[in-house]
Amino acid sequence: MAQWMELLRLNLLQGELGQFYDRKFPRHIRHCLCLFIESQDWDSAAADENKARICFQSLQCYLEDQCNRSLVEGRILKDPDFPGIKDYLVNHFEESPLQLAKVLSECLHEEKKVLSSASQEQHHSSPLVKDKWRVLDNRMNLLLRQTLEIKTKMSSMTNNHAVGTKRRREALATVADLAQGEFNFNLQTISQVLLKDVVNILQQLKGIVKILTEEELPEWRHRQQLACIGSPVSTCVFHLQKWFTDVAELILCLRRLLHKLQEQNRKYKHPDLSVHLEQTQKFAVTLLTNLLTNALIVEKQPAMGNTPQRPLVIKTGVRFSVTVRFLVNLPEFRCLLKIKPFFDKDIEEIIQTHGLRQFELNKEESKVMDVETSGDSLVTEFVQMTLKEIKTWGSRSCEQSILVTEEFHIIKFATCLQFDGLTFNIEVSIVTKFFQSQREKKRSAGHSWISCLVCTGQLAAPGGRLCYP
């Protein structure tokens, strides 16, 4: 199980390994049975038919136990389809358990090879990149400690306020008035110090947000573009998600501290402090908006099921899938993000260019983003999506009338997040324009797509504009 979870964490179940599983063994079965599969000695079973048959019988017993447990605990709809998995394995391997042992042995060896390659790549990666990540981690840890100190001071100030209020009620009127004035002055001084500390942390977070949105995220997208054309680069989002989540959590924590300061200030009405608190709140909201509007990414680019090794090359009428991830993985955002796909959204050339075909998605229903099976990220997967041409009045079928069937289009995913009295309009598109073809051969389509990228001197055209070959 540890091996499979490591592959999920490093986002390595695509590219060559994904193609390998498409040829050898259903990936969802490997995922559902990861604990059992990694607990067996498939290498020995692959060399001995008796051992292979024993492993297969153990697997059947394991599946039977899982089915019974799902039934008893009332989790049939939530748990994996264990009866379906059992039927598949019986139909394909009951007569040849040795073949199953060989397949699983080969799969485990291939996984180890991919993990070893990723480990070597990480070991030999640029020292400058490692130093930059280390510096960013150290800065985040420092800000986390500073925020905890502010929370402690805020808690102490609240407790002192409660004690001071009780003492003033017990004192004589004259003494109480003097104590009230002194207490207000002390409270204002402490509040100003705390506000200064909050502003200092927000200023540092501003620099980190800029690094994440203008450096780290574009670099990751560039690596994803390289991976789309076959480059063996890592597209793991572990570091990005950790930084985005930590920064968002810090900003939200600072906003709550600012709310408490504002509540204290309303009781004692310090005008200057009110203005500074309001400005700081706006600053925090600006940072949070900048972070969240960049947190939605297309983790897995559009790919057809029969050719997953050719992302971004789509044929009309053929099913394809896309995976979208929200990098801010906080429990507060669970089930708040309703993602809707759009085809050629806000692209004026589609309407203005004469003869350019228009398409729409057959599957456009929205999906609510929830925590994935591994429980460490907010993702949603759009599967069984297809394209169909929008027929306009007087137009002929594109398959019969048009000679050139190669076009570049774009898919966008949008959502509106409402949280803590704020509204964030978030949108993301596939990182490169994808090639769409109905009748052309996929091989020539891929060559046309890559040639266009090479001729333009870039892997993706800037902005949301169409590119024409």
Res 468: pLDDT = 32
Res 261: pLDDT = 86
Res 153: pLDDT = 83
Res 253: pLDDT = 92
Q: What is the CA radius of gyration of the chain?
A: 28
pLDDT over threshold 60, residue 264: yes
Q: Is 382 exposed, middle or buried, given 0-12, 13-18 or 19+ CB atoms closer than 10 A?
A: buried
Q: How many CB atoms lie within 10 A of CB 315?
A: 21
Residues with Cβ within 8 Å of residue 351, at least 6 apart in sequence: none
- Mean pLDDT value across residues 176-196: 66
- DSSP-derived secondary structure letter, 213: I
Res 466: pLDDT = 36
Phi then psi dihedrals of residue 354, to 5 deg: -75, 130
Residue 147 CA, chain-centre distance (Å), reads 26
Res 250: pLDDT = 94
Q: How many Cα atoms are found within 13 Å in the side-chain-facing hemisphere of 423?
A: 2
pLDDT over threshold 50, residue 406: yes
Q: Which segment of 119-128, 226-235, 445-454 scores lowest on mean pLDDT?
A: 445-454
Res 189: pLDDT = 77
Q: Which segment of 53-67, 181-195, 328-342 scores lowest on mean pLDDT?
A: 181-195
Res 181: pLDDT = 53
Work out the pLDDT band at 155, boundaries 50, 70, 90: confident
pLDDT over threshold 80, residue 187: no
- Mean pLDDT value across residues 181-194: 69
pTM: 0.69
pLDDT over threshold 80, residue 419: yes
Work out the pLDDT band at 76, boundaries 50, 70, 90: confident
d(CA 411, CA 238): 25
Q: Of 153-167, 257-271, 301-315, 409-423, give the range with the top mean pLDDT.
A: 409-423
Which has more pLDDT, 80 or 441?
Answer: 80
Work out the pLDDT band at 163, boundaries 50, 70, 90: low
Phi then psi dihedrals of residue 408, to 5 deg: -110, 130
d(CA 174, CA 297): 63
- Mean pLDDT value across residues 389-412: 60
Token pair 């990098």 is at which residue? 327
pLDDT over threshold 80, residue 387: no
pLDDT over threshold 50, residue 467: no
pLDDT over threshold 50, residue 443: no
Work out the pLDDT band at 209, boundaries 50, 70, 90: very high
pLDDT over threshold 60, residue 396: no
Residue 104 CA, chain-centre distance (Å), reads 29
Q: Which segment of 57-71, 206-220, 302-316 scores lowest on mean pLDDT?
A: 302-316
- Please give the domain boundaries of the chain with CATH numbers for all domains: 3-123 (1.10.532.10), 127-294 (1.20.1050.20), 296-393+403-440 (2.60.40.630)
pLDDT digits (tens, 9 = 90+) for 340-373: 988 877 666 655 666 666 777 776 678 888 776 5
- Report strand pairing: 320-326 vs 407-409: unpaired
Average of per-residue pLDDT values in the chain: 77
Tokens at residue 344, please?
A: 């050629």
The amino acid at residue 177 is: D
Beta bridge partners of 243: none
pLDDT digits (tens, 9 = 90+) for 274-327: 888 899 999 999 999 999 999 999 988 887 766 655 666 777 777 888 889 999
pLDDT digits (tens, 9 = 90+) for 93-115: 988 999 999 999 999 998 888 88
Res 368: pLDDT = 85
Res 74: pLDDT = 81
